[in-house]
Amino acid sequence: MTILIVDGDADSRERLRVILAEAAQWNIGAVCTGAEALRVLESGEIDLVLTDLMAPEMEGLALCREIKARSDLSHLPVVMMLDNGEHEYLDLACEAGACDYILKPVEPLDVLARVRAVLRIKKDTDSRLQRERSLTAANRRLLQLSVVDAVTGIANRRGFDQTLDRVWRSASRQRVDVALLMIDVDFFKPYNDQLGHLAGDQCLRSIAEALSQGLKRPDDFLARYGGEEFSVVLPRTDAGGRGGGGGKTAVRYRESRHRSSGFAGRGSHHDQPRRGLHAAEARSCAIDSGRHGRRGALRGERIRAQPELYAE
């Protein structure tokens, strides 16, 4: 660990450096002014600051306040060094953020005991913060995994539900349309049964990639709805596709490589997102049962936001 001494008095600075160096436990640095101290702290290699109350250019209190005001330095412990006649500054030192103090002229045992105690607390605090950061990162990864489909790498059903709800609420406030595309892959089960699950997974990934490439706007959202079904949420898009990206083009391009699968597009109006979703699912069942000639379907649902449903 590294300790930085800030003291304008050369003799005092050297005496403190010798005391700390004799412990043979730490790296010791020393500067004359508070301004120099801040430049050294930029390295990020300092673990403790010992500053004199009356350091030149920037006194100890000002230096301490500056350290505690900066997010990149606020974790550093600061120990204030005071002369015997400066006890009245102890409250100000604590208010500025100092964690301890040392009286001058310094006594070796007192200095070493206080420095060891402060550094021990810092080590424990650093370990706790590292555990918290690791836990936060792990939770973030778990949250991401919970809304990502493991096969295709796009959003899963949970991610779709969350996004649809968020987009719907936004649309209700702004009084704009939202287009919902339900995309069903025809004859996927025979394909999967004949060529195996690995080939089926690759097929789904290929379709997800084609759809992703067809969505040009940052807000356009693609998800695997379930099985061989995909969903696309297009904010600020009407039933005719005005305002939307190139999702239909991507699907047509992918469809053109399969003779047995056609393309159908339909639009209808609904005042709630779930009604549009359920209508699209119902039409999916109808198409899959043969009522519409067994054609691949891209079903567009125009859902009109009603602000009163989500009044805030």
Which tokens in the block code for residue 147?
């809304």
As averages over each run of 10 residues, the pLDDT of the chain (312 residues) reads: 92 92 89 91 92 81 92 92 81 90 91 94 90 89 85 92 91 88 88 89 92 89 92 83 54 43 43 56 42 40 42 39
153: left (phi over 0), alpha (psi -120 to 50) or beta: left
Q: Are 275 and 283 in contact (CB under 8 A)?
A: no
Q: Of the residues 92, 107, 140, which one is the last residue of a structural domain?
A: 140
Between vectors from CA 284 to CA 282 and to CA 285, what angle results, nearest 5°?
70
Cα separations in angstroms, 196 against 187, 188, 189, 190, 291:
14, 11, 10, 10, 29
Residues 172, 307 contacting (CB under 8 angstroms): yes
Do 120 and 47 meet the contact criterion of CB atoms below 8 Å apart?
A: no
pLDDT at position 98 is 93
Rounded CA-CA distance 131/137 in Å is 10
Q: Is the dihedral of CA 55, 17, 107, 68 positive or negative?
A: positive
CATH number of the domain where residue 136 is located: 3.40.50.2300
What's residue 77's pLDDT? 94
167: nearest Cα among 303, 45, 29 = 303
Tally of domains in the chain: 2
Among residues 140, 169, 198, which one ends one of the domains? 140
Measured at the CA of 72, the angle between CA 69 and CA 77, to 5 degrees, comes to 70
* Residue 50 falls inside a structural domain: yes
The encoded tokens of residue 140 equal: 């973030």
Q: In terms of domains, do 67 and 169 share one?
A: no
Note down the domain range covering 66: 2-140
Cα separation, 288 vs 227, in Å, equals 14
CB-facing half-sphere around the CA of 58: CA atoms within 13 A: 16
For residues 268-293, one letter each, b for 16 or more C-beta atoms within 10 angstroms of the residue's C-beta and e for the rest, the string is eebeebeebbebbbebbeebeeeeee
Sign of the C-alpha dihedral computed for residues 64, 66, 71 and 72 taken in this order: negative
187 and 269 share a domain?
Answer: yes
- Answer yes or no: do 283 and 225 share one domain: yes
So what's the pLDDT on residue 57?
A: 67
181 and 99 in a single domain? The answer is: no
**Do 131 and 171 belong to one domain?**
no
